[in-house]
Amino acid sequence: MQERHVAGMMELPERQFGFQTRALHAGARPEPETGARAVPIFQTSSYVFEDPESAAAYFNLQEYGNTYSRIMNPTVAAFEERIANLEVGAGAVAFASGLAAQSSTFFTLLSAGDHVVASRALYGGSITQLKHLFKKLSVELTFVDPDDPNEWHQATTERTRLFFGETIGNPGGNVMDIEQIAKVAHDHSIPLVMDNTFATPYLCRPIEWGADIVIHSATKFLGGHGTSIGGVVIDSGDFDWSNGKFAVIAEPSDAYHGLSFHETFGMYGFLMKLRSETLRDLGGCMSPFNAFLFLQGMETLPLRMDRHVSNALEIATWLEARSDVVSVSHPAIHYRENAGLLEKYLPKGAGAVFCFELHGGRSAGQNFIRNVQLFSHLANVGDAKSLIIHPASTTHRQLSDDELQAAGIAPGTVRLSVGIEDVEDLQWDLEQAFARSN
Amino acid sequence: MPEATKYQDPATIQRVLHTGRSIAIVGLSANTLRASHFVGYYAQRHGYQIIPVNPREEQVLGEESFNSLTAVGDTVDIVNVFRDPAAVPAIAKEAVAVGAKALWLQFGVISDEGAAIAADAGLDVIMDRCLKVEHARYIGRMHWLGLNTEVVTARRPVRR
């Protein structure tokens, strides 16, 4: 039996702290034992229990206690709380990668025979995951035009259990009208799941517009330095899982000795299920060291994002004016006729990843990439350094020509992830690559 | 101010948790899978005196179960309710009658009438909040589960 503590209250701040303050502090209370100010890396697989009763209480979820680092770890928890706070969610569960976060969310909510409606303009890896993994799991799938709420509505069936889209599409740059699509989802009593990797919570917080679950590849802007692979799922805590469509959350679970996650944990039901069943069973946990690096990265997220978006917009505008460029897919250019959409969802800027198309198709794209010096040719985005890739040969390699077109990718399309270098140096590099390629 | 948030004041929640010692749990089930049992078990583990109020149980968590609040006899600091919202006004009147200091209505137990009865009699009222979650947020280890406590501080916590 633990002694009851009445001293040392952890008070809620009397002030609602700003985003940058929370990016530095949320989730990272000083460590009580040592006073360590940085979040310690708890590099341990397991935790010594006080006594058998405590161990049982932790495993029964009657008490919050560390059991095993596949399921929970204090360093990872600090990262989870920080991103949950920044995304204005009820909580978060971290995973080994963005795709692990995504597949675990789907695995938690879906059963064989269920149906998903997803945006057609997703990251290639997500399209592949949905198409092939779900075929194996007997989950049906319909891709729709992300910009047309009516298509989402028309595609919905009795077995549809979630909508899935990206705040800013990779790499086509479409921006979802989250509020509208969330309304369609809620009219059908199902949740809207949004990937917010490209926007980050600094530029857009989908939960504030009605999204129910938010997923990140933390590998990108959250980490920001290209050091670690990781992902995370944030739940708003607002969706009513007892509405009759989600027996997987609301009914007693055979996988947890008959526990009903919705009744027992209320607004935390989905998160508790995601952690104590799906993460436990599929096992794709985040390492404490990676969580530490993500925490470090997130401290400067607002500073980096401001520079990312201003550099990206300047490069995109500069490219658009060139005669050797067919088109530029930066949202600010793409939505020039519909600026209200960007003003609503992305008032601080529309991210730093966009594409441009070169005359001359596949070989022109590949040739250009051969000639850059400062842009790194690699398959990632969101690094502080500028990155470049040819999607048709790499990230979207598994897609058919029709699917490529639907995702906004031509054979001559080059994708940039604009970093925080001096923008004049980035322009110099692209200029000399154009000169050498011609 | 909407009724729900009026009864979710963080300062009130912390004061009730820090000053209360005995908790009468109305609707406490002996079934270990029910939410009420989770809360009772947790609160007992953290040193609160648990008083089950449930005519359908003889004993819960090793404590005698009473048919009603008025049958308890001992001092009741917090009345914690796991019941149909329609039952709350009557429970609130009993809470006032036995001199309880706080009425705490769990997730989904929403009764503006019951809350007003207790508040008018000077009780602290908390509504649509879970006692276990709020204790874990301010005093316990909710932050070990990646949940958003909304606690943002650079002060070194007292070890627990």
Q: What is the pLDDT of residues B136-157, one digit of tens each?
A: 998 889 999 999 999 999 998 7
Domain boundaries, chain B: 3-132
Closest CA of chain B from A25, distance in Å: 6
Architecture of domain A19-28+36-297: 3-Layer(aba) Sandwich (3.40)
Rounded-to-integer distance, Cα A330 and Cα A90, Å: 32
Could you tell me the CA-to-CA distances from A65 to A38, A264, A374, B158 in Å, in that order? 22, 17, 48, 18
Rounded-to-integer distance, Cα A46 and Cα A73, Å: 9
pLDDT score of A337: 87
Decide if B141 touches A, using CB distance below 8 A: yes
Q: What is the pLDDT of residues B65-90, one digit of tens each?
A: 999 999 998 899 999 999 999 999 99
Closest CA of chain B from A257, distance in Å: 9
pLDDT score of A10: 52
Rounded-to-integer distance, Cα B143 and Cα A91, Å: 9
- In chain A, ranges of CATH 3.40.640.10 domains: 19-28+36-297
Query: What are the chain B neighbours of A12 within 8 Å (beta carbons)?
Result: 10, 138, 150-151
Residue of A nearest to B159 (CA): A32
Closest CA of chain B from A110, distance in Å: 23
In chain B, DSSP finds a helix count (H) and a strand count (E) of: 6, 7
pLDDT score of A5: 41
The CATH code for residues A301-437 is: 3.90.1150.10
pLDDT score of A3: 37
Which DSSP category does B21 fall into? Answer: -
Q: What is the pLDDT of residues A177-236, one digit of tens each?
A: 999 999 999 999 999 999 999 999 999 999 999 999 999 999 999 999 999 999 999 999
- In chain A, ranges of CATH 3.90.1150.10 domains: 301-437
Q: Which member of B32, B45, B143 has the closest CB to residue A1?
A: B45
Q: Would you call A25 and B107 a contact, using CB atoms and an 8 Å cutoff?
A: no
Q: What band does B29 get if pLDDT is binned at 50, 70 and 90?
A: very high
The CATH code for residues B3-132 is: 3.40.50.720
Q: What is the mean pLDDT of residues B83-108?
A: 97
Could you tell me the CA-to-CA distances from A236 to A146, A161, A211, B108 in Å, in that order? 22, 17, 8, 17
pLDDT score of A397: 78
Q: Would you call A64 and B142 a contact, using CB atoms and an 8 Å cutoff?
A: yes
For β-strands A231-235 and A91-95, DSSP reports them as antiparallel
Q: What is the pLDDT of residues A332-355, one digit of tens each?
A: 998 988 889 999 999 999 999 999
pLDDT score of A224: 98
Q: What band does B159 get if pLDDT is binned at 50, 70 and 90?
A: low
User: Under 8 Å CB-to-CB from B146, ≥6 apart: which residues?
Assistant: A72, A76, A77, A79, A80, A81, A84, A91, A92, A93, A94, A271, A275
Could you tell me the CA-to-CA distances from B45 to A1, A344, A401, B22 in Å, in that order? 6, 48, 61, 13
Report yes or no: A407 and A296 within 8 Å, Cβ to Cβ: no
What average pLDDT is seen over chain B?
93
Question: What angle is formed at CA A265 by the lines to CA B136 and CA A275, rounded to 5 degrees?
Answer: 90
Could you tell me the CA-to-CA distances from A137 to A95, A97, A132, B111 in Å, in that order? 21, 20, 9, 44
CA terminus-to-terminus distance, chain A: 76
Q: Which member of A21, A64, A72 has the closest CB to residue B140?
A: A64
Q: What band does B122 get if pLDDT is binned at 50, 70 and 90?
A: very high
Q: Helical H runs in A4-141?
A: 19-25, 52-59, 74-86, 98-109, 124-128, 134-136
Q: What is the mean pLDDT of residues B30-56?
A: 96
Q: Which member of B32, B148, B153 has the closest CB to residue A10?
A: B153
Q: Would you call A91 and B155 a contact, using CB atoms and an 8 Å cutoff?
A: no
Length of chain A: 438
Cis peptide before B55 (omega within 30 of 0): no
Decide if B33 touches A, using CB distance below 8 A: yes
Residue of A nearest to B46 (CA): A4
Could you tell me the CA-to-CA distances from A223 to A38, A217, A321, A349, A398 in Å, in that order? 16, 9, 33, 19, 27
Q: Collect the ranges in chain A with pLDDT lower than 70.
A: 1-14
Q: What is the pLDDT of residues A61-104, one digit of tens each?
A: 999 999 999 999 999 999 999 999 999 999 999 999 999 999 99
Q: Is the dihedral of CA A278, A284, A289, A294 positive or negative?
A: negative
